[in-house]
Every structure is written in C-alpha cells, then in structure tokens.
Amino acid sequence: MSDLKEENYQGRLVGYARVSTQEQNLDMQLIALKKAGCAVIFSDKGISGKVFVRQGLKEALSVLNKGDTLVIYKLDRLGRNTFELLKLQRKLEHKQVHLRSLTQNIDLSNASGKLTFTIFAALSEHESNINGERTKGGMAVKKADGVRLGRPNKLTPDDIATIQKMIGNKDLSLAAIARSFKVSPKTIKRAIDSAGSQPD
C-alpha cells in the first residue's frame, strides 16, 4: 500500500470509495482512506462501476481544487469503463488535481503513471466484462436445468387454483380478489395467464 501523507502534497487529500451492491461493505476502503490522511471522504454504495453519474463521485470532484489529490483504494473503485476513466483523467489534469491509488502505482503527474492508469483502466473494464459473461453463463445453465430466475412468484400454485375458483364467483371483483391476496390485479392476471399457458 502506498505511503500517502497529507504533508507531502500542497492541497488536501480527498478520498472516494464505492461498492457495487447494497450488501457490500465500504469499511475496508474507508479505513484505508482515513489512514492515508484524507481530509474528507465521499462514497457511493450499490452503484456499478460502469455508471459514472454518481452522487458521491460528483461531490468528490466538486470539492477538488488545484493541488488537491483524489485518493482511491483501487482504480476499479473509481470506475470500470475505460473511455469514462480516461475522460475523468483529463478532467483531473485540467483542474491540476492529482490522483493516487492506495494499492496501485498510479501517479498522473508523470508519463509512466499515465500509462499505468490506462492499463489498469482497460484491465478493470475487461474484468467487469468477464464477470458479466460468467454471470450470464451461470444463468443460462440454471435456466437449462429448469431453475426459475428472477424474483420469486408472489402467488403459489395453491393460491392460483383458489383464485381461479374465486373468479367464477360473479360477486367478487378482480380488485377484491387481489386485495385478499395482497397483490395487484395485474399480478392476478399474469398468474392466471401463466397457469393457463402451462402444459398439463
């Protein structure tokens, strides 16, 4: 891990952390950024690295001034899109803001550091694409094995059978039936249509 100390730079050390899902934890990144001497830390939680419109990142970039340093734990925490990362690199250079990664030798103040940044940016996007392909492949295998993907059904087969009988009662409206099962009328219709399309 790089030995970053705030006194080594003219401006402030501004930290940024990100995790892709709400279940993931920011603690490791936040601890490392605080230990590095960041004066302030911004973060985003539950947002993919391919998405660059993020509130935390926007706020971090807005407070950076000439001579400041944007500190990240790892480049993929900043993003996983090579084109967008290179745009961000140019934006930081225009503002005369430094960039430091705590786990990678990235320093935009020299040609070697810029090359390292570009390589890691491409690797980060490649890793994201590989993970996406693995996920799709796993989903395809599960689907072939008959595993139902997506959110679980709100209505069980027994519920649907009961609803079909209730629909035959002209005194009960679809809305009333839906309320009794705590679902929307659209859910009732989809469940009935799905049940009707299944082979015996």
pLDDT, tens only, 78-96: 887 877 888 888 899 889 9
Q: Across residues 5-33, what is the average pLDDT? A: 84
Q: How many CB atoms lie within 10 A of CB 110?
A: 9
The larger pLDDT score, comparing residue 190 to residue 198, is at: 190
Q: Catalytic residue positions?
A: 20
Residue 97 pLDDT class (50, 70, 90 cuts): very high
Q: Which residues contact 132 (CB under 8 A, 6 or more apart)?
A: none
Residue 64 has pLDDT above 50, yes or no: yes
Mean pLDDT across the chain: 76
Is residue 32 within 8 Å of residue 1, measured between CB atoms?
Answer: yes
Q: How many CB atoms lie within 10 A of CB 196?
A: 9
User: CATH code for 6-130?
Assistant: 3.40.50.1390
